Amino acid sequence: MHPILKLVAQRVALGILLLWAASVLIFVGTQILPGDVAQSILGQAATPQSLANLRAELGLNEPPVARYFAWLGGVLTGDLGTSLTNGRDIATAMGGRLWNTLFLAFWTALIAVPTAILLGLVAVRYQGRWPDKLISGTTLATVSVPEFLLGYIAVFFLAVQYRVFPSISTVYDSMSLGEKLNAIALPIIVLTLTILGHMMRMTRAAILNVMQSAYIETAELKGLGGFAVIARHAFPNAIAPVINVVMLNLAYLVVGVVVVEVVFVYPGMGQYLVDHVAKRDVPVVQACGLVFAAVYIGMNLLADVMSILANPRLRHPK
């Protein structure tokens, strides 16, 4: 077998193992309460009868290990259980929302990734001069402010003061793509700002690292201009760390999306999770936690695999 295939296969197997362990952790996380889950869901005013009913519904009379495997078996066959609060099937309720979240994340990535790389290149080209300082300073400010505050600052100026975009992102199926994009413009801007800073800084650092190599000096000495050196010689060699950073930030997007969806009342996974945590709807929370963990682990796995593929030494073994 080609060594690179073997490496990739190992990473994928490791990812699957990690996902399984994460499912155990999520399950345990909802069982560690020192008392009774049913009591904590219903509160102090619960009658013994309703407690007994809820216990039976949650399967609390069975041992935890049996409950875990019942849950895992359901998840593997696509059955995520039913919601406690409204009795609806979780998988169907989640489907549309997952799609909405991915839609938001996709457009954010489409805007944020090229912008971050471009800004990183500009910062390297004018290293130490005002464009570099301006970009670095602005991105330091954006990473110091939590997402939800960035969100309200955007609403205050772009939706209320200047009325450019709507402050609430309602989307439904009958909207055209343009209308949908207009509705989610503000969440896209906020999410882009939150991941842009980190991505741009790491791109800058990765390219600066390569800029110290001897072949860069050769390229400069043979008379190539500033941007040509960076684009033709430095960037291709910095691509592996840059890809890694991009993927890690896209994984971070999964977390950022939770908060931003709440700010803009966007009907996605994050809003769904937060609503049901407040209602103490354990099956929904478990299912959402697992989906988020799966996406996060998947993105990290993809980052690993892509940096293996981007390494020419591994691609062409001796």
Partner 1 sequence: MRMPVSAAIGLFFTALYFLAAIFADLIAPYGMAEIVGGVWDPVSADHWLGTDNIGRDLLSRMIYGGQTTIFIATMGTLLSFSVGSVLGFTAAVAGGWLDQVLSRFVDLMMAIPSLIFALVVLSVMPVTVPVLILVMGILDSTRVFRLSRAVAVDITVMDYVEAARLRGEGRGWVIFSEVLPNALSPLVAEMGLRFIFMVLFISTLSFLGLGVQPPLADWGGIVKENKEGIVYGIPAALIPAFAIATLAISVNLVADWILNRTTSVKGGRGG
Name residue 82's beta-bridge partners.
Answer: 89
Nearer to partner 1, 39 or 237 (CB): 39
The single-letter DSSP state of residue 89 is B
For the chain, the straight-line distance linking the first and the last C-alpha, in angstroms and rounded, comes to 14
Q: Does 65 bind partner 1 (CB under 8 A)?
A: no
**Three state DSSP letters for 233-290:** HHHHHHHHHHHHHHHHHHHHHHHHHHHHHHHCCCCCHHHHHHHHHHCCCHHHHHHHHH
Mutual angle of helices 185-211 and 147-154, in 10-degree steps: 120
Q: Name which of residues 102 to 121 contact partner 1 (CB under 8 A).
A: none
The single-letter DSSP state of residue 173 is T
Q: Does 259 bind partner 1 (CB under 8 A)?
A: yes
Q: Shortest Cβ distance from residue 40 to partner 1 (Å)?
A: 6
Q: Shortest Cβ distance from residue 157 to partner 1 (Å)?
A: 10
Q: Does 302 bind partner 1 (CB under 8 A)?
A: no
Rounded to an integer, what distance in angstroms lies between the CA atom of residue 298 and that of residue 288? 15
Q: Does 260 bind partner 1 (CB under 8 A)?
A: no
Backbone φ, ψ for residue 38 (5° rounding): -60, -45
Cβ 213 vs Cβ 249: under 8 Å: no
Contact range with partner 1 by CB under 8 A, out of 91-99, 121-129, 184-192, 280-288? 280-288
Contact range with partner 1 by CB under 8 A, out of 86-94, 97-105, 159-167, 186-194? 159-167
Nearer to partner 1, 91 or 294 (CB): 294
Rounded to an integer, what distance in angstroms lies between the CA atom of residue 190 and that of residue 182? 14
Q: Does 90 bind partner 1 (CB under 8 A)?
A: no
Residue from 206, 292, 304, 305 touching partner 1 (CB under 8 A): that is: 292
Nearer to partner 1, 23 or 121 (CB): 23
Binding residues for partner 1, rule: CB under 8 A, are 18, 21-22, 25-26, 29-33, 37, 40-41, 140-141, 144-150, 152-153, 155-156, 159-161, 167, 252, 254-255, 258-259, 262, 273-274, 276-278, 280-282, 285-286, 288-289, 292-293, 296-297, 300
